[in-house]
Amino acid sequence: MPTTPESGLGAMIRTWRDRLPPSAAGLPVAHGRRTAGLRREELADLAGVSVDYVVRLEQGRATTPSVSVAAALARALQLSTAERDHLYRLARLAPPVDGAISDHLAPGVQRVLARLGDVAVAVFAADWQLVWWNHGWAALLGDPAASPPRLRNFARDRFPVGAGPAHLARWPVTEADRDATDAAVVSDLRRATGRFPRDSRLAALIRDLHAGSPRFAELWATGVVAAHREDHKTIDHPFVGPVTVDCDVLTDGDCELKIVILTAAPGSEDETKLRLTAISGAPATTPH
């Protein structure tokens, strides 16, 4: 009697892992490597979960990952939107619905990001929720992995509700025009409400900030609608001292993902310091 090919969650994770070469994920390829695709350890590191959890998923001993873990696996495996939705259904989760903010990185975007090397790069969703960062970002600003996923939001850091540490920048950061950046972030969130009017996460974020931050409420009342595109920042890095960088924001298509790139002027002392942070700064960790 012929056997039926496995098609459950564990089997699909193995299939997707086996087809993704490490080079596509920005990982070095060792000479004489026997595995063409990702190793379990590599997938675990990219997704921000333990190797044991990946083993249990693939063996069918864990079958109900959380939404955040499912999203991280989809990003790490560079799944298409249809494949991501299939992973969600196999995990007994509802796929993201139309009109909701997406945290998903398309495979093409991930390939581009992997080729940027140690340039400090992070990707935010339309509500400024951090969904991905690389080694250069963690080295320059501190590793966001130490913070709970819900709090890795640039707007929450920008307009804190109550006392508490920042979650996206571990070192002090100053800007050329803080008021302009504040206004740009608020107006960008207002623009997102028009693009994603039924997104519950965005609505909750705006309620929290409006109720808890007088500065946010003041700027929200102006009704300005715009997008955040560029800025200049100085990071007081604990090992290399102040580093001044240009902050450029690129938007990826309909999902309104924000690709934030931090660079220094070519040939400058800041460029040298930026390179040194990759050696002395915090190690990178992919978000859960």
The 10s digit of each residue's pLDDT in 86-116 is 999 999 998 877 678 888 888 888 888 888 8
Residue 97 in any domain: the answer is: no
Residue 233 lies in a domain: yes
Residues listed for the chain: 288
Cβ-based neighbours of 194, under 8 Å, separated by 6 or more: 225
286 has a pLDDT exceeding 80: no
The answer on 133 and 223 residing in a single domain is yes
Q: How far apart are the first and last CA of the chain?
A: 42
Distance in angstroms (rounded) separating the CA atoms of residues 6 and 103: 28
- Pair 115, 231 in one domain: yes
Give the confidence band of 3 by pLDDT, cuts at 50, 70, 90. very low
Res 245 pLDDT > 90:
yes
Q: What is the pLDDT of residue 50?
A: 92
- Domain with residue 23: its CATH number is 1.10.260.40
**What does residue 246 show for φ and ψ, rounded to 5 degrees?**
-90, 135
Which pLDDT score is estimated for 2? 42
Backbone phi and psi for residue 24, each to the nearest 5 degrees, phi listed first: -70, -20
Percent of the chain topping pLDDT 90: 48
Q: How far is it, in rounded angstroms, from Cα 217 to Cα 210?
A: 5
How many domains is the chain built from?
Answer: 2
Give the mean model confidence (pLDDT) for residues 7-24.
91
Residues 115, 247, single domain; the answer is yes
Q: What is the reported pLDDT for 35?
A: 78
* Mean pLDDT of the region 193-201: 88
Q: Which of 268, 283, 274, 280 is nearest to 238 (CA)?
A: 280
Q: Are residues 79 and 148 in the same domain?
A: no
Same domain, 77 and 128: no
pLDDT of residue 228: 65
The answer to whether residue 99 sits within a structural domain is: no
Strands (E), the chain: 120-124, 130-133, 173-175, 230-237, 241-252, 257-263
Token pair listed for 192 = 């997102």
Looking at this protein, which amino acid is placed at residue 225?
V
Q: Which residues contact 184 (CB under 8 A, 6 or more apart)?
A: 226, 227, 228, 229, 231
Global pTM value: 0.74
pLDDT at 162 over 80: no
> 78 near 25, Cβ under 8 Å?
yes
pLDDT at 164 (0 to 100): 65
Does 272 lie in the same domain as 155?
Answer: yes
Q: Please give the average per-residue pLDDT across 243-257, as a whole number.
A: 85
Confidence of residue 220 (pLDDT cuts 50, 70, 90): very high
- pLDDT class of 251 with cuts at 50, 70, 90: confident
My answer on whether 134 and 38 are in the same domain is: no
* Whether residues 135 and 203 fall in one domain: yes
- Given 26, 58, 90, the domain boundary residue is 90
- For position 195, what pLDDT does the model report? 85
Range(s) of the domain holding residue 81: 9-90
Of 107, 86, 87, nearest in space to 21 by CA: 107
| pLDDT bucket at 287, cuts 50 / 70 / 90 | very low
Residue 282 in this model has a pLDDT that exceeds 80: no
In a domain, 101, yes or no: no
Domain end, chosen from 90, 117, 147, is at: 90
**Window from 24-28, 37-41, 231-235 with minimum mean pLDDT:** 24-28
Q: Is 3 within a domain?
A: no
Q: Is residue 201 situated within a structural domain?
A: yes
